[in-house]
Amino acid sequence: MGANTANTANTANTANAGNAGSTSGGGAGGLIIADRVDLPFVKDTDVEMARVGHVPGAGLPPVCPPIGPPTVFQDRKVDPFFAGWQVLAEFSATNWRQQSPIKTGEENAAGPLGSGTIYRRGPNLTRQRVEIVLGAAGTPATFTTLSGTAAQGPQPSDWEFDRLMRAYVDERPDALSEIVSQSNEFLTYFMDLQSFHSVSHPATCKVVQSASLIGLFCCQYWKNKYKRVRPAQLFPGLLPPVATPGHAAFPSGHATQAQLVFRCLRSVLPVTPIGGSANSLNSMASAGERLSRRIARNREIAGLHYPSDSIGGRQLANKVYDEILLQAVDGVGIPPTYVVDMPIYRELVRQASLEWV
């Protein structure tokens, strides 16, 4: 999350070097007299007695005194990164495996879950598609690219590689800085877009981190199912400017994570106008969605993903959000009951929403 850069503030302790002057004893060659017993800090009498549960005058307290609810590790002190893992643990007990990268209504009902068609609108009224057939357990999927107008019908086409080659020539020079920057981390882009950080909006940061981890978790499951080869492995001339990741292409992890981060972040933003304009909320939502698509598109421009990888990643994220995460926070009745039991995530969303009031 970038918060660890705050540790650079520790360099301020170098100012203590000025205390070195006290060793002079008042002049060159003077006698040096120690002003303390050279014992560890913890053996200082007052420090040694200052344990939780100590009663003054009662001698040393027990090493592990009994402590109750007031003295527990507080949730607000949990680092956003580890809060994300806690949410992921409860998410893993849901039906996440039933959410595939294929859009609802475009699955192949005759094939295994995960078979279906990815559609994209092409130029000149053409409809581009990738037909995906997922084989039996352990068998990689087949990907067939087709394109054509309604009159022509689907014809064999290399449209995905054509787009990647054009993107290399036309867009990569301008997108290079973002490609490199987003290669390992892109959450700070969303944080900068909405002007928040771990100090101003700690719960929001935890929601964002949770969404990123859940997206990564889900897409890795499906990557191992499909085992789609990376574009640069079939077309080395694409020459990605960053290292090709050590896992399969479909669905795109960046697309899945960025879309899920956007959906979760959008859910905690206020429903009332902010920023002095009735359109400000819509502007924030629009910018967030465009950012998620831009992050995914940059991976295509880099030659790391096919266009259908990005589409599949967005569709997977939308399913995970609509079918699981949304159901975990939208209760029914009074007191509310929830279709999905994720109390840690639900509480984080509640706290994050309050941060934007």
SS (H, E, C) 123-159: CCCCEEEEEEECCCCCCCCEEEEEEECCCCCCEECCH
Q: Which residue has the higher pLDDT, 341 or 334?
A: 341
Q: What integer pLDDT is reported at residue 132 of this predicted model? A: 95
342 and 87 Cβ atoms separated by less than 8 Å: yes
Q: Which residue has the higher pLDDT, 311 or 280?
A: 311
Q: Quick check: 64 pLDDT over 80?
A: no
Which pLDDT band, with edges at 50, 70 and 90, does 16 fall under? very low
Q: What are 1's two structure tokens?
A: 């999350």
> pLDDT tens digits, residue range 314-332?
999 999 999 999 999 988 7
CA-to-CA separations, 47 to 66, 72, 158, in angstroms, rounded:
19, 21, 73
Q: What integer pLDDT is reported at residue 76 of this predicted model? A: 86
CATH T-level assignment (fold) for domain 77-99+160-355: Vanadium-containing Chloroperoxidase; domain 1 (1.20.144)
**Nearby residues of 351 by Cβ (< 8 Å), 6 or more positions away:** 203
Q: Mark 58-73 as b/e (b = at least 16 C-beta within 10 Å).
A: eeeeeeeeeeeeeeee
Question: What mean pLDDT do residues 15-23 have?
Answer: 45
Sheet bearing 127-133, strands edge to edge: 116-121, 127-133, 142-148, 155-156
Q: Quick check: 281 pLDDT over 70?
A: no
Which pLDDT band, with edges at 50, 70 and 90, does 15 fall under? very low
Q: What integer pLDDT is reported at residue 125 of this predicted model? A: 77
Q: Which residue has the higher pLDDT, 129 or 277?
A: 129
Q: How far apart are the first and last CA of the chain?
A: 23
Q: Domain-by-domain residue ranges, the chain?
A: 35-72, 77-99+160-355
> pLDDT tens digits, residue range 141-177?
999 999 998 888 889 999 999 999 999 999 999 999 9
Q: Which of 4-13, 51-60, 142-151, 158-167 has the lowest mean pLDDT?
A: 4-13
Q: What integer pLDDT is reported at residue 139 of this predicted model? A: 82
Q: What integer pLDDT is reported at residue 331 of this predicted model? A: 82
227 and 140 Cβ atoms separated by less than 8 Å: yes
129 and 118 Cβ atoms separated by less than 8 Å: yes
Q: What integer pLDDT is reported at residue 84 of this predicted model? A: 95
Q: What integer pLDDT is reported at residue 164 of this predicted model? A: 96
Q: What integer pLDDT is reported at residue 10 of this predicted model? A: 44
330 and 346 Cβ atoms separated by less than 8 Å: no
Q: Which residue has the higher pLDDT, 248 or 19?
A: 248
> pLDDT tens digits, residue range 101-150?
999 999 988 888 999 999 998 887 788 999 999 887 778 899 999 999 88
Pairwise CA distance, residues 99 & 167, whole Å: 30
Among candidates 269, 71, 304, 42, which has minimal Cα distance to 180? 304
Instruction: Give the pTM.
Output: 0.82
CA-to-CA separations, 352 to 77, 83, 150, 247, 269, in angstroms, rounded:
15, 13, 47, 33, 8
Q: Quick check: 268 pLDDT over 70?
A: yes
**Residue 297's beta-bridge partner residues?**
none
Q: What integer pLDDT is reported at residue 336 of this predicted model? A: 81
Q: What integer pLDDT is reported at residue 66 of this predicted model? A: 56
Among candidates 215, 226, 238, 225, which has minimal Cα distance to 305? 238
Q: What are 191's two structure tokens?
A: 């944080």
Q: Which residue has the higher pLDDT, 124 or 66?
A: 124
